[in-house]
Amino acid sequence: MRKALVCGAGGFIGSHLVKRLKSEGFWVRGVDLKSPEFAETQADDFVILDLRDPQVCQNVVDRHFEEVYQFAADMGGAGYVFVGDNDADIIHNSALINLNMLKTCQKKKVRRIFYSSSACVYPEYNQKDPDNPKTGEDSVYPAQPDSYYGWEKLFSEHLYLAFQRNYGLEVRIARYHNIFGPEGAWNDGREKAPAAICRKVAGVIDGGEIEIWGDGKQTRSFLYIDECLEGSLRLMRSNWTGPVNIGSDEMVSINQLVDMINGIAGKKLAIRHVNGPLGVRGRNSDNNLIYEKLGWKPTQPLIAGLRKTYTWIQEQVIKAAAKMTSAGGR
Ligand code: NAD
C-alpha cells in the first residue's frame, strides 16, 4: 500500500488532502499541533506533535513514504500576518519546521517532498495597480515581499531547492494564492476574506450593514480547495519542480466579492469601510506556467466555490448562535 505523510494535517489544506489521499487508497499519517477543528481526521495515524523539534521529525519519518507533504506553518489571514505583531513567531516557527523536515528527509532518504509556498513571496512593487498585478513566477526578483510571512516562504523555497541540488531530494514547490472552502478558519482571527465576508453576511439580517477593511477596491483571486488539491497532486506527481503558482485567475475586487456573497445569501447589505490590515493593492494568479508545464488550470468559477463555502459558514454561524443562546438560558 502506498504511504503518505502530511505535515500540517490538522489545518485547512492538510485535512482536505488527507481525505483526498485516503480516497486514492493511500495509508496516511498526519502530524500537527492540533486535530482538525471541524471534522474527524481520516488519517490512519494522526499524531499531535511539534515539528519545530528535530527529534519529532525524525520519529515521524520512521518508514518509507512515497509522498511527503509539508503544509505545517505559522500562518493566518491579513489580521494575523499583516499586523506586525506576529512576525518573529511566523518566521521562526515556520523556518524551524522546514529546516527540520528537510534534514530529516535527507537523512531518511525520502525521495520527494511537496512544499506549500505562497503568493506572498511576490514583490509589493508589482502589486500596486489593482487592475494589473504581476505574479509571473520570474517576477519574484528583485525580492520585496510585503510581509515576513512572505520572506520566510521565499527563504524556504531556496532551502528546498538547495536540498534538491545538493542531496538529490526531489522537491515540488507550489505558490498558493488564497485557497478557500468549507472547514477552514472562519472566526478565530486567522480567517481570510471569503470566510470573513461569508461570516459577516450570514450573521446580519437583510437590510443590515457589514464592515469591510479598506475601500474594497483592492483585488484578489480565490481558489476553491478541491482545485488546489488537484493542482497540487498533479504537480507532486509531475517532473516539474516549480516554484509554480496554484491559484485562480478570476480576479475580483473585495467589493465584488461582497456582492457575490450577498447574492448567494439573497441579502442586500450596506458596506461600511473601516481601517484594517490590507496587504497588497492587487493580486491575481498568473497561470501561464502551470498550464504550459502541466496542462492544467482551475475548472470552476469562483461563484461555485463560494456557494459551498457560504452554506458551510452559515451552518457554523447558526450553531454558534444556538450555543450562546443555550449557555445564556442556563
Ligand atoms: P492552516 O493554518 O490551516 O494549517 C497549517 C497547520 O500547521 C495548522 O494546523 C497548524 O497547527 C500546523 N502547525 C503549525 N505549527 C506547527 C508545528 N510546529 N508542528 C506541527 N504542526 C504545526 O493553513 P492552511 O491554509 O491549511 O495552509 C497550509 C499551507 O499552505 C501553509 O504552509 C500555508 O502557509 C500555505 N498557504 C496557504 C494559503 C491559503 O490560502 N490557505 C495560501 C498560501 C500558502
CATH number at residue 80: 3.40.50.720
Ligand 1 centroid distance, CA of 9 (Å):
9
Ligand 1 centroid distance, CA of 75 (Å):
6
C-alpha cell at 167: 542531496
Give the model's pLDDT for residue 78: 77
Q: pLDDT exceeding 90 applies to what percent of the chain?
A: 92
Measure Cα distances from 277 to 41, 74, 221, 269, 273 in Å. Answer: 33, 18, 18, 22, 12
DSSP string, 234-284: HHHTSS----EEES----EEHHHHHHHHHHHHT---EEEEE------SB--
Look at phi and psi of residue 150 and say left if phi exceeds 0, alpha if psi is from -120 to 50, else beta.
alpha
For residue 133, is it within any domain? yes
Ligand 1 centroid distance, CA of 291 (Å):
26
Q: Is 8 in the pocket of ligand 1 (CB under 6 A)?
A: yes
C-alpha cell at 28: 496516511
Ligand 1 centroid distance, CA of 300 (Å):
24
Whose cell is 482545485? That residue is 227
Give the model's pLDDT for residue 99: 98
Whose cell is 515576513? That residue is 148
- Long-range contacts of 22-26, Cβ-Cβ distance < 8 Å, separation of 24 or more: 25/1, 26/1, 26/2, 26/66, 26/67
Q: State the average pLDDT for the chain.
A: 96
Catalytic residue among 69, 122, 148, 149: 149
Each residue's pLDDT tens digit, 48-66: 999 999 999 999 999 999 9
Give the model's pLDDT for residue 330: 62
Active site residue 141: no
CA-based angle 251:254:256, to the nearest 5? 75
Give the model's pLDDT for residue 83: 86
Q: Is 170 in the pocket of ligand 1 (CB under 6 A)?
A: no
Residue in 12, 98, 190, 222 to alter for ligand 1 test, most ligand atoms within 8 A of Cβ = 12
For residue 130, is it within any domain? yes
Across the range 134-147, mean pLDDT stands at 97
Ligand 1 centroid distance, CA of 270 (Å):
33
Q: How far apart are CA 165 and CA 168, in angstroms?
A: 6
DSSP three-state, residue 1? coil
Q: What is the 3-state secondary structure (H, E, C) of 103-150?
A: HHHHHCCCCEEEEEEEHHHCCHHHCCCCCCCCCCHHHHCCCCCCCHHH
For residue 105, is it within any domain? yes
Across the range 99-119, mean pLDDT stands at 98
Give the model's pLDDT for residue 202: 97
Nearest one of 283, 4, 231, 232 to 125, comparing CA atoms: 283
Q: Is 97 in the pocket of ligand 1 (CB under 6 A)?
A: yes
Nearest one of 239, 235, 236, 232 to 66, comparing CA atoms: 236
Give the model's pLDDT for residue 327: 80
For residue 89, is it within any domain? yes
Q: How far apart are CA 33 and CA 39, in angstroms?
A: 16
Q: Whose CA is nearest to atom 21 of ligand 1?
A: 32
Could you tell me the residue range of the domain that residue 64 belongs to? 3-180+223-246
Q: Whose CA is nearest to atom 44 of ligand 1?
A: 118
Confidence of residue 205 (pLDDT cuts 50, 70, 90): very high
Q: Which atom of ligand 1 is nearest the CA belonging to 93? A: 18
Residue in 12, 51, 68, 75 to alter for ligand 1 test, most ligand atoms within 8 A of Cβ = 75
For residue 252, is it within any domain? no
Give the model's pLDDT for residue 276: 85
Q: Whose CA is nearest to atom 1 of ligand 1?
A: 11
Task: Tell me the whole-structure pTM to 2 decimals.
Answer: 0.96
Q: Is 71 in the pocket of ligand 1 (CB under 6 A)?
A: yes
What does the CA dihedral 39, 43, 45, 49 come to, rounded to 10 degrees? -60
Give the model's pLDDT for residue 279: 84
Q: Which atom of ligand 1 is nearest the CA belonging to 190? A: 2
The total domain count for the chain is 1
- Residue 103: burial class (beta carbons within 10 Å; 0-12, 13-18, 19+): middle
Ramachandran angles phi, psi of 105, nearest 5°: -65, -35
Confidence of residue 324 (pLDDT cuts 50, 70, 90): confident
Ligand 1 centroid distance, CA of 76 (Å):
8
Confidence of residue 162 (pLDDT cuts 50, 70, 90): very high
Ligand 1 centroid distance, CA of 46 (Å):
16
Confidence of residue 326 (pLDDT cuts 50, 70, 90): confident
CA-based angle 83:302:235, to the nearest 5? 80
Residue 329 has pLDDT above 70, yes or no: no
Residue 123 has pLDDT above 70, yes or no: yes
**How many other CB atoms sit within 10 Å of the CB of residue 135?**
25
- Please tell me which residue, 278 or 57, carries the higher pLDDT value: 57
Measure Cα distances from 237 to 5, 11, 16, 216, 285 in Å. Answer: 15, 22, 18, 38, 22
Answer for the pair 210, 198: CB distance below 8 angstroms, yes or no.
no
- Please tell me which residue, 223 or 330, carries the higher pLDDT value: 223
C-alpha cell at 175: 505558490
Give the model's pLDDT for residue 175: 98
Confidence of residue 119 (pLDDT cuts 50, 70, 90): very high
For residue 56, is it within any domain? yes
Across the range 96-124, mean pLDDT stands at 98
For residue 176, is it within any domain? yes
Residue in 99, 151, 176, 248 to alter for ligand 1 test, most ligand atoms within 8 A of Cβ = 176
For residue 318, is it within any domain? no
Q: Is 52 in the pocket of ligand 1 (CB under 6 A)?
A: yes
Q: Whose CA is nearest to atom 25 of ligand 1?
A: 12
Measure Cα distances from 34 to 101, 108, 176 in Å. Answer: 18, 25, 22
